[in-house]
Structures are given as structure tokens and as C-alpha cells.
Amino acid sequence: MLHTVPREDLDALVQHEPRALSDALEQGRIVYFPSCPIALPEEAELSFLREEIGPNLRRKNVSWYFDRDRVKGLETAPVVAERAHRLLREHAARVRELLTRAMPEFSRGWTPGTTSVRPFQEKGRALSAHASNELVHVDAGAYGATHGDRVLRFFVNINPREDRVWVSRGAFPELFAAHGREAGIAGEPADPIVGTPMIGTQSSSPQRGRNDPVREGPFDRAFTSVVNAGARLAPALKMIDSSPYDRLMRRFHNWMKDTPSFRDSQVGLQTFRFPPLSAWMVLTDQVSHACIEGQHALIDTFIVPLANCRLRELSPYEILRAQRAPDART
């Protein structure tokens, strides 16, 4: 499940196999860099991020928003806030430079989201089940709704001594096959596909009939149009967007966290330890994950167009689309 990329191999890989990293992501692998492939802030700045953010936090995380160039979640003196703002914005720029260079086709037209600091120890953090990072889940509804677009996250462990520890129960295709019906996101197989093969761009995607559970009806489209129009004035409005796809993913996310028989099972459980100053990236809508231990991480999030996927048949959107609709109205 781990696709390891030594730092010294990265340039040659990018030059000769520009789809290698994104193919690994689409296949549900965690692309792991034992040595962080971008420059990190100097040690004094890392110490600042570790020590000055946590005590001044007023949300789950502190996040810098690309579209607004604003930091949210921090309540502190202006000099501290400005330093955090600069550090997160500069880190975000380095991550974007790396990923657009390493995956030029996959990142085309993406939407950069947030750069977050996770200053707290994840083990034993008393968050509600749906907000908890300690329970295995796939991500759903990032920034409101993705409509099938992909959630890419790039992580750096900036703890100077301790590993960040993840567990996974596998990727969406096998999780859906094993648990989709019980979770209420799978119905009967859909009618045969009409159209061309699904690998490639949106324009080559197949057409399905009225039973397609992720198909957006007139109300869905009108609602999203209104939200998008409003979000031009008030970007936070995006958070109320929704779609049939996002509701199914949210249902699965909640089922994974709420269902004792899944939550407490060790079936397929894999553990990953990410040492200090290592980095990794993953499609978090594809790969189930929980952070069970670790403190101090930087996390960058991007929404990648589904059309950029060339292994599109492995995406949650296409897997859900291949079913007749379950009751998707919740």
C-alpha cells in the first residue's frame, strides 16, 4: 500500500514517468517520501509552529486558505498571527510547486484548499466520533461538496522526535465491495454502460440511466449554482454545497466511524509509521485512514478534477455510479 519515493529518485521519476505518482495515488497507494521532498521552514520557525499555535487555537486546526489568503482558527497577538500566516503561505507555495512539477497533468485545473497545522497529540484527543482522526474513515465532503472530484492531501511530520502513526483498512474499491450494502451506499448493479470506456477525461465518461445514484438532478444543480454564486461574495458559503455523490460519501464516512462491528475490527488493518520530517500524500477519499498517534503535522489539501484521473474506474464516483440508487436522500 506504500509507494516509497527516495528523495534522490524524485527528479528522474518526474522526468521519465510523469504519471507514476498520480497512478500510484489513483491505485489507492500512499506515496511516501522518507525525506521530505521540499524545503521546510528553519528549525526556529518549526519550533514556533509547534509551540505557539496550540495554545492559541480556537478551532480543531489552524488553517491558511489559498483562495482568501487568510488564516483561520488562531486567536493571538498580531505578531504571532502574522508569523504563522507567512510560514503557512510559504509552505503552501512550496508544496504547490512540487506537486504541479511532479504531477503536471493530474494537478491541472485543481483547486488548492487549505494548509493546516495540527498542533495536538492525536492519541486520546477527545473529539466527537465524526470529527475524530483516530477512527478509520474515508474523507467526504471536503469544503462542502466535491461532486466526485478527488481529495488530495500532502502531509509532513514536523515533530522533531516522534513518528506520526496511521492505520488503514484499505482503499475504497475493496471497502465498498465488503461494506457498501451494510453501509447503505450500494444497491443493485446498474444497467449496462452505454458509451465509451471510462479511462480518460470527463468527455469520454459513460452515460447511465435514471438509476444512477450520483446523478445530479435539477434541484441539485440549481442549489449548487446558487451556492457558487453566493460564494463569490462569501467564500464560506461553499461549505453548504451538497450533491448525491457527497451525501453517499458522507454516509459511508459516518458509517465507518459509528459502526462498532467495523470500528472495532482488525480485518485488513495496516499500520504505517511516518518518522520526523518525512512526508506522504494520498487521495483521502480513496484510502481509508486514521491517525492514531502523533503531534505536529502540516497538511495541504487540494481538490483534483475527476477528469484528470486516468484510472477513473477506481474512483469512488465511478464505483458508486455503477450501482442502482440506494436510498440516498439522507
Query: Which residues are at the interface with Fe ion (CB under 5 A)?
Result: 139
SS (H, E, C) 263-276: HCCCCCCEEEEECC
Q: 205 or 284: whose CB is closer to Fe ion?
A: 284
Nearest-angstrom CA–CA distance, 306 and 285? 12
User: Taking the complex as a whole, how short is the minimal distance between the CB of residue 135 and Fe ion, in angstroms?
Assistant: 10
Q: At closest approach, how far in Å is the CB of 132 from Fe ion?
A: 10
277 vs 274: CA distance, rounded Å = 8
Q: Where are the beta strands (DSSP E) in the chain?
A: 2-4, 30-33, 62-65, 70-72, 111-118, 150-157, 164-168, 270-274, 279-283, 290-293, 297-304
C-beta of 290: minimal distance to Fe ion in Å? Answer: 8
In whole angstroms, how far apart are CA 1 and each of 4, 183, 189, 252, 276?
10, 24, 28, 21, 20
Q: How far is the CB of 140 from Fe ion (least distance, A)?
A: 9
Query: CB-wise, 139 or 318, nearer to Fe ion?
Result: 139
79-82 long-range contacts, Cβ below 8 Å, gap at least 24? Answer: 80/52, 80/56
What residues contact 311, with CB distance under 8 A and at least 6 apart?
A: 23, 26, 27, 199
Q: In angstroms, what is the minimal distance from the CB of 250 to Fe ion?
A: 12
Select 139 or 149, whichever has its Cβ closest to Fe ion: 139
Q: CA end-to-end span of the chain, whole Å?
A: 32
Q: Among all residues, whose Cβ is closest to Fe ion?
A: 139
Closer of 116 and 243 to Fe ion (Cβ) = 116
Contact 201, 307 (CB under 8 A): yes
User: Cβ 102 to Fe ion, closest distance in Å?
Assistant: 22
